[in-house]
């Protein structure tokens, strides 16, 4: 049996790894000259700068995978820090547990109003709602509007670079719906889950690209062929085989895994008919990231950084104080800030000016001598619409009959750990 995997990001490479022993031949097609997709570690002078993701959320399956790759001793953890949100021209500070909407930490927070805290006391009595809904509706329904504005939008929706009013809670944060369904109350869940995880995220000492490089080595040693610089243009069914047409010619396969963004699937699979319209239901957003590297000491007492509520009239949407979060990746004496900006057709110099003026305006910080590295991430964050899960189910069921499978950030979660888990689960499905 011959398998084609389209896409050499973390999803495609992990699929190659998990499936190598059940196919006679596997080819991974990657359109770029390098594998890794959104995972890109840049070595700049003596610093390791993550241009895409900088960390992976910890869970059993992913940690096991990292240890299987013999990378366990290269894991590093970020300096723990509170979460800061710029809201109403003021910094609000929350404990990291707030990410899981732990209401005990909401009650303890000095940045949540008394009115909201009284409302929170009724949370255990709120009805549960089985169907999908937006992140905004979910949080407002259970915890009230203030919690959505101060936590839901700037912290949770920000992970997807999304508008929480549009984002499907069932697809983007399924665990929240599961807690609601199984425990009926977030208070009850918080009281039951006493085992506080020490670290929610981890990274690699020599950068996240280390994982894709090691994966490449592993899959190649298992006889998987990686074809770099080969773009898949079209897939069609001819005499029971799947013909994969690329910029360099075509080849036939028994099964195909697509591990690429859903809008690319639309172009490649158009021959299969109207079903492909479903790939376009997911819209994608873009962002600009900017590293600012300086030897100056900045008076910015904000732990690992801050997120910006969209109600603020700023172009900066967030900032990681990279040298605080990952001192292991930064040379001593340097301060490195990583900014996330709204995606607009800014010129390079404009980006610099925006950062200087907004940091001055909000924090009275004068940024002077620094180097800057910008990266534009176009169409990089999927915005799962309400009922996204239903769409994915229809797509997967239809194409399973054609021996075509789908994994990656377009489907069951944007995080690297979700991508690896999808590749792992595929093993049972594809057999
Ligand atoms: C700025 C940024 C920050 C992020 N931060 C985090 C974070 O801290 N933690 C986290 O867990 N996640 C984070 N994410 C999300 C995470 O990086 C991605 O969801 C994940 O890496 C996606 O992996 P993938 O393999 O599914 O897709 P991709 O990485 O997009 O890989 C797809 C690959 O397919 C190739 N390809 C596309 N079309 C074709 C074709 N027609 N033929 C052949 N090849 C093709 C592409 O070149 C690419 O290499 C971040 C994302 C961004 C953009």
Residue owning the nearest CA to atom 1 of ligand 1:
52
Quote the mean pLDDT of the chain. 96
The residue whose CB lies within 8 Å of the most ligand 1 atoms, and thus the one to mutate among 4, 5, 8, 9, is: 9
Task: State mean pLDDT over 206-212.
Answer: 98
Which class in CATH covers the domain with range 2-37+207-282+384-430? alpha beta
Q: Residue 342 has what pLDDT?
A: 97
Q: May I ask the CATH class of domain 284-382?
A: alpha beta
What does the pLDDT read at residue 7?
A: 98
Residue range 353-357: average pLDDT? 97
DSSP 270: G
Q: Which of 28, 29, 40, 52 to mutate to test the pocket of ligand 1 (most atoms within 8 A of CB)?
A: 52
Is the distance from the beta carbon of residue 285 to the nearest atom of ligand 1 less than 6 Å?
Answer: no
Residue 199's pLDDT is: 83
Q: Atom 2, ligand 1: which residue's CA is nearest?
A: 52
Please indicate whether residue 38, judged by its CB atom, sits closer than 6 Å to ligand 1. Answer: yes
Q: Which atom of ligand 1 is nearest to the CA of 36?
A: 49
388 dihedral zone (left: phi>0; alpha: psi -120 to 50; beta): alpha
Substitution site in 5, 7, 251 for ligand 1 pocket (most atoms within 8 Å of beta carbon): 7
Q: Kindly give the distance from the C-alpha atom of residue 390 to the centroid of ligand 1, in angstroms, as a whole number.
A: 23
Q: Stretch 202-223: mean pLDDT, rounded?
A: 97
CA distance 380 to 288: 10
Compute the residue count for the chain.
431
pLDDT at 67: 97
What's the 9 CA to ligand 1 centre distance in angstroms? 6
- Centre of ligand 1 to C-alpha 121, Å, is 41
pLDDT of the residue at 207: 98
Q: Is residue 32 lining ligand 1, measured as CB closer than 6 Å? A: yes
Report how far ligand 1's centroid is from the alpha carbon of 213 (Å). Answer: 15
| pLDDT tens digits for range 95-151 | 999 999 999 999 999 999 999 999 999 999 999 999 999 999 999 999 999 999 999
| Percent share of the chain, pLDDT over 70 | 99
Ligand 1 nearest-atom number relative to CA 418: 11
DSSP secondary-structure letter at 327? G
pLDDT at residue 80, as a whole number: 78
Is residue 242 a contact partner of residue 253, using CB atoms and an 8 Å limit?
yes
Query: Ligand 1: which atom is nearest the Cα of residue 340?
Result: 1
Q: Is 207 in the pocket of ligand 1 (CB under 6 A)?
A: no
Atom of ligand 1 nearest to the CA of 267: 41
| Residue 274 and residue 283 in contact, taking contact as beta carbons nearer than 8 Å | no
Whether the pLDDT of residue 366 is over 90: the answer is yes
How far is the centre of ligand 1, averaged over its atoms, from the C-alpha of 31 (Å)? Answer: 13
Summarize pLDDT for 271-289 with one digit per residue, the tens: 999 999 999 999 999 999 9
Which strands sit side by side in the sheet containing 249-253, from one edge to the other?
232-238, 241-246, 249-253
Q: Is 422 in the pocket of ligand 1 (CB under 6 A)?
A: no
| pLDDT one-digit tens code per residue, 295-352 | 998 989 999 999 999 999 999 999 999 999 999 999 999 999 999 999 999 999 999 9
Rounded Cα distance between 415 and 3, Å, is 25
Flag whether pLDDT at 65 surpasses 90: yes
Query: Which one is the CATH code of 96-192: 1.10.3110.10, 1.20.58.110, 3.90.550.10, 2.40.160.20?
Result: 1.10.3110.10
In this predicted structure, what is the pLDDT of residue 274?
96
Structure letter (DSSP) for residue 156: I
> So what's the pLDDT on residue 200?
86
Provide the residue ranges of all domains of the chain, joining segments of one domain with +: 2-37+207-282+384-430, 96-192, 284-382
Q: How close is the Cα of 366 to the center of ligand 1, in Å?
A: 35
Ligand 1 centroid to Cα of residue 298, in Å, is 33
- How far apart, in Å, are the Cα atoms of 97 and each of 113, 189, 191? 19, 13, 13
Q: In ligand 1, which atom is closest to the CA atom of 381?
A: 53
Angle at 13 between CA 52 and CA 329, to 5 degrees: 35
Ligand 1 atom closest to the Cα of residue 57 is: 11
pLDDT of 195 higher than 70: no
Atom of ligand 1 at shortest range from CA of 268:
41
CB of residue 215 inside a 6 A radius of ligand 1: no
| Measured distance CA(410)–CA(380) in Å, rounded | 10
């Amino acid at each position: 049996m011959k398998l084609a995997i389209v896409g050499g990001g973390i999803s495609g490479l992990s699929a190659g790894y998990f499936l190598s022993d059940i196919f006679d031949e596997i080819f991974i097609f990657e359109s770029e000259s390098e594998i890794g997709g959104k995972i890109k570690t840049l070595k700049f002078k003596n610093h390791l700068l993550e241009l895409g993701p900088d960390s992976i959320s910890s869970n059993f399956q992913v940690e096991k995978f990292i240890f299987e790759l013999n990378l366990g001793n290269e894991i590093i953890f970020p300096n723990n820090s509170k979460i800061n949100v710029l809201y109403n021209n003021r910094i609000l500070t929350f404990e990291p547990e707030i990410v899981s909407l732990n209401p005990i930490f909401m009650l303890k927070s000095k940045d949540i109003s008394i009115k909201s805290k009284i409302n929170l006391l009724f949370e255990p009595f709120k009805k549960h709602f089985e169907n999908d809904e937006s992140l905004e509706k979910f949080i407002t329904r259970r915890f009230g509007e203030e919690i959505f504005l101060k936590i839901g939008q700037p912290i949770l929706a920000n992970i997807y670079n999304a508008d929480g009013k549009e984002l499907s809670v069932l697809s983007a944060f399924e665990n929240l719906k599961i807690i609601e369904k199984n425990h009926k109350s977030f208070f009850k869940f918080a009281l039951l889950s006493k085992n506080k995880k020490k670290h929610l995220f981890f990274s690699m000492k020599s950068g996240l690209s280390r994982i894709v490089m090691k994966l490449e080595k592993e899959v190649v040693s298992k006889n998987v062929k990686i074809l770099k610089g080969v773009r898949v243009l079209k897939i069609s069914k001819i005499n029971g085989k799947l013909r994969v047409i690329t910029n360099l010619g075509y080849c036939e396969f028994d099964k195909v895994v697509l591990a690429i963004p859903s809008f690319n699937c639309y172009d490649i699979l158009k021959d299969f008919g109207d079903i492909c319209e479903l790939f376009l239901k997911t819209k994608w957003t873009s962002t600009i990231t900017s590293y600012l590297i300086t030897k100056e000491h900045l008076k910015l007492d904000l732990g690992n950084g801050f997120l910006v509520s969209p109600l603020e009239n700023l172009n900066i949407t967030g900032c990681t104080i990279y040298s605080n979060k990952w001192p292991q990746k930064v040379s001593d004496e340097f301060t490195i800030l990583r900014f996330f900006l709204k995606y607009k057709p800014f010129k390079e110099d404009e980006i610099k000016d925006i950062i200087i003026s907004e940091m001055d305006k909000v924090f009275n910080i004068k940024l002077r001598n620094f180097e800057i590295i910008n990266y534009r991430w176009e169409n990089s964050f999927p915005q799962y619409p309400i009922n996204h899960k239903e769409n994915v189910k229809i797509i997967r069921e239809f194409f399973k009959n054609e021996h075509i499978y789908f994994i990656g950030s377009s489907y069951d979660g944007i995080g690297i750990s979700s991508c690896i888990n999808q590749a792992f689960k595929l093993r049972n499905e594809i057999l």
